[in-house]
Amino acid sequence: MTRERHPTQAELLEAAVRTLEDVLIPELQTPWARTTAMGLLGQLRYAVARTSTDSLATQDDELEACLEALVGEFPGLRELLATAALRGDRSWDLREQASRLLVHALDGEDAARAAIRSRLRPLLAAHVQQDLGETGPMLQAFLASGSLGSTG
Amino acid sequence: MRRGQHGLVHPLSALAPALRRWFTARLGAADQVVLDGPQRITVGHSRAMLAVRVGLPEGSREYVLRVEQGGVFGTESLKEVRLMRALRAAGLPVAPVRWYERDPSVVGAPFFVMDRIRGRGENPQLGSIRELVRLLQRQHELDWRSAGLGFLDPPATPRAATLGQIDRWESIYREARFLPVPLLDEAAAWLRRHAPPPRRIALVHGDPGPGNYIYEGDRIQAITDWEFAHLGDPDEDWVYMATIRGAAMSREEWQTLFKTEAGVEISDRAWRFWDVFNQFKGACANLTALRLFSDGVNQAPNMVAVGTSIQLLLQSRMAELIGQDREGEEGNGT
C-alpha cells in the first residue's frame, strides 16, 4: 500500500492537538492564555471528528424522508408546507418546512398533528443530540477551563 | 498587531500605549500615567474584561475595562452604562462606572471603564447566595420610573413585556441563523401560547446568579453583567437563577430560599414557562456567537463553543421541557 506524499488533514489536526496539549498548554502562565488554549484544543478535536463525517447531508436525507412520509400519509399537510418561505436551498427548505409542521402541531388534536409530534419532533431532537455529540470536545474543553457560566 | 480579531486589538500588550494616553487624558494628569496591564480577566463571553492598574502621583487606582465583542448576544454597552449608574445611585451594589468610550479605535471596540471591585466570583457559599436573593428582591421592588430607568423601553402592558421578550430573542435568532432551527421556531410559538400574566413589571437582571456577582464571605460587593437587563416579569430572574446558574442546588432548595429570603413563590405553570423561555433565550443569544465566529468578527475559541455545544445544550433542554409539557397535557386529557 502506497502512502500519499503529504500528511492528511486528520494527521495534521491530530498532531496539532497533541502539541498543544503536551507542549504548549503546560507552559502557559496567564489564566486567559490557558483558557483560550484549552478552548482551541477542544476546537481542534472537533475539527478532527468533522473530517470523517458530513452529518448535515445525512440529517437532510432523514428529514426529507420523514416529511415525505408525513405528507404521503396526510396529504392535507401539503397545503401547509406550500406556505413555507423556501429559498431553493435543500437544507434551509427542509428545516423551514419542518418548522411549519412543528408549530402546526402545537394546536389541536388530530392524527396528522399526533404523527408530527411522534415522528418529526423526535427526529429533530435526535439531530440535536447528534450535533451535541459531535461538538462535545468543545464542551468538554469549555468545562475543563472553567468557562461555563451560562448563556454568556 | 491585528484589529477586529477577538473583538480587540491583539496581542493585548499592544494596547498599553493607547490606553496610557487614554487614561492620561481622562485623569487630567500633567504627565503620562504609569499603566500596569492590561490583563484579561478569565470570565465573560459577551464582553472582554481587562484589568489595569493606573499609577498616579497620589497613588494607584485599579480599573476594569468592559469591552464589546462585536455584538455578542445582541447587546451593547451604552444602555448597560446608564443602567449601572442609575442602580448605583439607587443604592444597589454595582461597580462605579467612570467612563464610556464609543470610539473603537482605542482598543478595537467600544468599552466602558469601572472601578475594579476586589473579591471572589466563583464557588459562592450559601451566605452570599442568601444575600443575593434578598438583593434581587430589592432590585425587583425598585421603582424603575423614579430611578430614571424609562430608557429601558417600558412595555405598554405587563403581557406585552413578556411577548416583547419572546419577539426580541426570536428576532435575534432569525438574524443570526445560518439555517432555520425548527425546535426554536416551535419554542417561540409555544411560549406565545403559554405566557403567564406577569404579576407586575420590574427591572429584570436577565442573567442573575452565582458567577455574576463578586463577594467577600457572606457580603456581596457588586452584582455584575447587566447587559441583558430589561423591564419585565421578575419570575424570569428567579427561574433563571435556579435553573441556568443554580446547578449546585436543587429546584426545591432554590424555591425554599426564594420563599424564606424574599417571600417569593412561583406557580408550577410560571416556573415551566420561564424555564423554557430562559433556555430559548440562551440558545438564541448563543447563536449570535456562532455568527460572529463564522463571519470573522470574533474568532476566539469560546465563541464557537458557545455558539455550538452550549447552544445545543440549551436547545436540547428547551425541547425536552416542551415535550414534557405536552405529555403532561395529554396525561391530563387536555
**What pLDDT shows up at residue B287?**
95
| pLDDT digit string, tens, across residues B61-75 | 999 999 988 777 767
- Residues contacting A17, CB < 8 A, separation 6+: A41, A44, A45, A48
Grid cell digits, residue B107:
482598543
Q: How far is B214 from chain A (nearest CA, A)?
A: 14
A151/B244 CB distance under 8 A: yes
**What pLDDT shows up at residue B332?**
61
Going residue by residue through chain A (152 aa), what tens digit of pLDDT does each one get?
556 678 888 889 999 999 999 999 999 988 888 888 999 999 999 998 887 777 899 999 999 999 999 999 999 999 999 888 889 999 999 999 999 999 999 998 899 999 999 999 999 999 999 999 999 999 888 887 765 443 33
Burial readout B76-113 (b: 16 or more C-beta within 10 A, e: otherwise): ebebbbbbbbbbbebebbbbebeebbeebebbbbbbbb
Chain A residues within 8 A (CB-CB) of chain B? Answer: 30-32, 35-36, 39-40, 42-43, 46, 91-92, 95-96, 98-99, 102-103, 106-107, 117, 121, 124-125, 128-129, 131-132, 135-136, 138-139, 141-142, 146-152
User: Contacts of residue A42 in chain B, CB cutoff 8 Å?
Assistant: 301, 305
**What pLDDT shows up at residue B334?**
44
Pinpoint the alpha helices (H) of B263-310: 268-294, 301-305
Q: Is B169 on the interface with A (CB under 8 A)?
A: no
Q: What is the mean pLDDT of each run of 10 residues along chain B (334 residues)?
A: 56 87 85 82 79 88 90 80 97 97 90 95 89 97 96 91 97 96 98 91 96 92 95 97 92 97 96 97 95 87 92 97 83 54
Nearest 5°: phi and psi at B94? -135, 140
User: Contacts of residue B73 in chain A, CB cutoff 8 Å?
Assistant: 151-152
CA angle B257, B263, B265 (to 5 degrees): 80
**Neighbour-count burial of A65, counting CB atoms closer than 10 A to its CB (0-12 exposed, 13-18 middle, 19+ buried):** exposed
**What pLDDT shows up at residue B69?**
81
Q: How far apart are CA A101 and CA A63, in angstroms?
A: 12
Q: For the whole model, what pTM was predicted?
A: 0.92
Q: In 3D, which of B207, B225, B216 has the Cα closest to residue B128? A: B216
- Mean pLDDT for chain B? 90
**What pLDDT shows up at residue B14?**
85
Q: How many CB pairs under 8 A join A and B?
A: 135
